[in-house]
Amino acid sequence: MRLGFSEDQEELRRFVRQFLEEKSPESAVRELMRTDEGYDEAVWRQMAEQLGLQGIAIDERHGGGGFTFRELVLVLEEMGRALLCAPYFSSVVLAAGALDRSGDEAACEELLPAIASGDCIATLAFEEENEAHGTVAIADGAGWRLRGEKSYVLDGHVADAVLVAARSPKGLSLFRCAGDAEGLERALLPTLDLTRKQARLAFSGTPAVAIGRAGDGTRVLGEVLHLAAVALAAEQVGGTQRCLDMAVGYAKERMQFGRPIGSFQAIKHRCADLLLECETARSAAYYAGWCAAAGDDDLPIAAAMAKAHCSDAYYRTAAENIQIHGGIGFTWEHPAHLYFKRAKSGQLMFGDSAHHRARLADLVGL
């Protein structure tokens, strides 16, 4: 096992960071936060055509780069550092991951090349607020129609293709419908984190196509959510490192009583604790990424551990970053609150830390 990155992988990191520093500075993040779409189409195209980021973990036979989940972890870490506003997580991690694990070759051949090229924004709809509005699939001749609602769908308001987990006569199954399909209503949700858009989708007899085997949705969804937890943990490591860098940088330049505040023991101890949070989170995320790339049996354990620890590390570091900055850290003009809101929303996404620690305890038999 080698958790570190090779020279080529580190070069990929530098290239992605340079691109994001140019295309996703704080000014661009703030501008895209105010839009309904939540992303820049020109940048999205550049990511696909110049860097091949959308297809980095998609098999070459489906138009992707054929790299592993480890390279995807590296890219997501840099995106988390830059607070990139784009439908990348929904398309590449959730939708492409679900297609790849569905075993439906026809669906993969149709959608994965479009995702890899940036021509198709896709997402996975699986969250429901209550069973009364749960999504069901009703047979309609050779096809299906969907009824019900899904909430908290990442980029669901702009997705060209929506993969939907719905109850069918044979159990939970996976279906696909077009983003502009008849009977589909999409509404943007108000959220704490404006840098990552979420939507509510209402299906009223929406035509859909089945993906994979009927009744196989529970398995597919379970595997995808393991990968999503690892991917989000990688994002959180990038955000944690950025908050640490901001806190340390400010502690070096902010003068109090004629000396930098970083020279005071209380601030030194805080920064040292944040460094520990960041490095342990990085180790957890990298190990989980290795398990995902290798198909290791420890993936469920590693994913739960990484999601729980990285979520809390990011939240604590983002909060301490505000405290170290003092009064200016609480202002709208300072970027600290953008990371804090991303940290808090990510802490709850795909299950909070308590949920994943409970899963971890069950998996190891405690």
- Please tell me whether residues 188 and 289 are part of one structural domain: no
Q: Which of 284, 253, 239, 247 is nearest to 269 (CA)?
A: 247
- Please tell me whether residues 154 and 106 are part of one structural domain: no
**Tens-digit pLDDT profile for residues 228-253:** 999 999 999 999 999 999 999 999 98
> 158 lies in a domain?
yes
- Distance separating alpha carbons of residues 294 and 80, to the nearest angstrom: 23
Residue 142: the pLDDT is 82
One-letter amino acid of 163: L
Residue 255: the pLDDT is 82
Model confidence at 130, pLDDT cuts 50, 70, 90, reads: confident
Residue 202: the pLDDT is 96
Return the CATH number at 59.
Answer: 1.10.540.10
Domain boundary among 73, 91, 116: 116
Cβ pair 224, 103 in contact under 8 A: no
- Distance separating alpha carbons of residues 92 and 73, to the nearest angstrom: 12
- Please tell me whether residues 128 and 85 are part of one structural domain: no
- Please tell me whether residues 265 and 353 are part of one structural domain: yes
- Please tell me whether residues 272 and 188 are part of one structural domain: no
- Distance separating alpha carbons of residues 324 and 273, to the nearest angstrom: 13
- Please tell me whether residues 254 and 359 are part of one structural domain: yes
> 1 lies in a domain?
no
**Tens-digit pLDDT profile for residues 92-127:** 999 999 999 999 999 999 999 999 999 999 999 999
Q: Considering the chain, what percentage of its residues have pLDDT values greater than 90?
A: 91
Does the pLDDT of residue 132 top 80, yes or no? no
Return the CATH number at 223.
Answer: 1.20.140.10
- Please tell me whether residues 59 and 185 are part of one structural domain: no
- Please tell me whether residues 256 and 166 are part of one structural domain: no
Question: Domain range for residue 271?
Answer: 218-363
- Please tell me whether residues 183 and 299 are part of one structural domain: no
Domain boundary among 186, 214, 242: 214
Does the pLDDT of residue 2 top 80, yes or no? no
> 258 lies in a domain?
yes
Does the pLDDT of residue 1 top 80, yes or no? no
- Please tell me whether residues 62 and 78 are part of one structural domain: yes
Cβ pair 163, 176 in contact under 8 A: yes
- Please tell me whether residues 90 and 58 are part of one structural domain: yes
- Please tell me whether residues 130 and 104 are part of one structural domain: no
Residue 5: the pLDDT is 86
Return the CATH number at 163.
Answer: 2.40.110.10
Question: Across residues 314-322, what is the average pLDDT?
Answer: 97
> 2 lies in a domain?
no
Angle at 137 between CA 132 and CA 139, to 5 degrees: 140
| Continuous H helices in 254-335 | 265-294, 299-325
In the chain, the number of structural domains is 3
- Distance separating alpha carbons of residues 205 and 179, to the nearest angstrom: 14
**Tens-digit pLDDT profile for residues 162-221:** 999 999 999 999 999 999 999 999 999 999 999 999 999 999 999 999 999 999 999 999
